[in-house]
Amino acid sequence: MNALSLKKGISRKSAYDLRSLYGDEIESHTLAVIVDNEAGVLARVIGLFSGRGYNIESLTVAEVDHEGHRSRITVVTIGTPAVIEQIKAQLGRLVPVHDVHDLTVEGPSVERELALIKVNGVGEKRVEAMRTADVFRATVVDSTLESFVFEITGAPEKIDAFVDLMRPLGVSEVARTGVAAITRGT
């Protein structure tokens, strides 16, 4: 209790409301950043994250406009809503950045990732790996007498689930591309 016997943050209409405008929960956001396609731009964008201690969960980069010399950097990052807003504002101030879109809040979007998973096993483990791959619609892209390499495409959660189920069957390597995302509709 304070001097006026009022609890801090009693309601949004209270003059003593000291609650943050943003939540304190850690959230994952997918950001699409359109930048000039020139040397050093990726280093500057990523330097912004590392210099301020922001974490990057996934990062993909590709040229999207050859004539306009523009690339798209798709970054999945985590933080409180206030941190995410700060990241977007700081990205927008960089000179080579043309647009910053938060696909998580701008409406429905499609996110996909590609992974290659090598599974070592013989006998029943091999059969079980093939059954699990069939359920997840993973395809075999390489096969030897002792191992498989599976290719799987889908939402990051689907890939996480597939890898978790394959671990007891002998996962030896995992290579992931990172999230590629785009908004749905017009």
The reported pLDDT for the residue numbered 183 is 93
Number of domains in the chain: 2
The reported pLDDT for the residue numbered 95 is 86
Output the average pLDDT for the chain.
89
The reported pLDDT for the residue numbered 23 is 65
In a domain, 12, yes or no: no
Residue numbers of the chain with a pLDDT score lower than 70: 1-23
The reported pLDDT for the residue numbered 49 is 92
Which of 87, 102, 117 terminates a domain? The answer is 102
In a domain, 5, yes or no: no
In a domain, 170, yes or no: yes
Radius of gyration in angstroms for the set of CA atoms belonging to the chain, rounded to a whole number: 22
Q: How far is CA 30 from CA 17, 51, 65, 96, 166, in A?
A: 31, 20, 21, 20, 27
The reported pLDDT for the residue numbered 10 is 46
Which of 51, 86, 102 terminates a domain? The answer is 102
CATH code (residue 86): 3.30.70.260
Which of 102, 133, 165 terminates a domain? The answer is 102
**Phi first, then psi: what are they for 122, rounded to 5°?**
-135, 160
Question: Are 55 and 34 part of one and the same domain?
Answer: yes
> Is-contact 156 113, C-beta < 8 A?
yes
Angle at alpha carbon of residue 114, lines to 44 and 37, rounded to 5° = 30
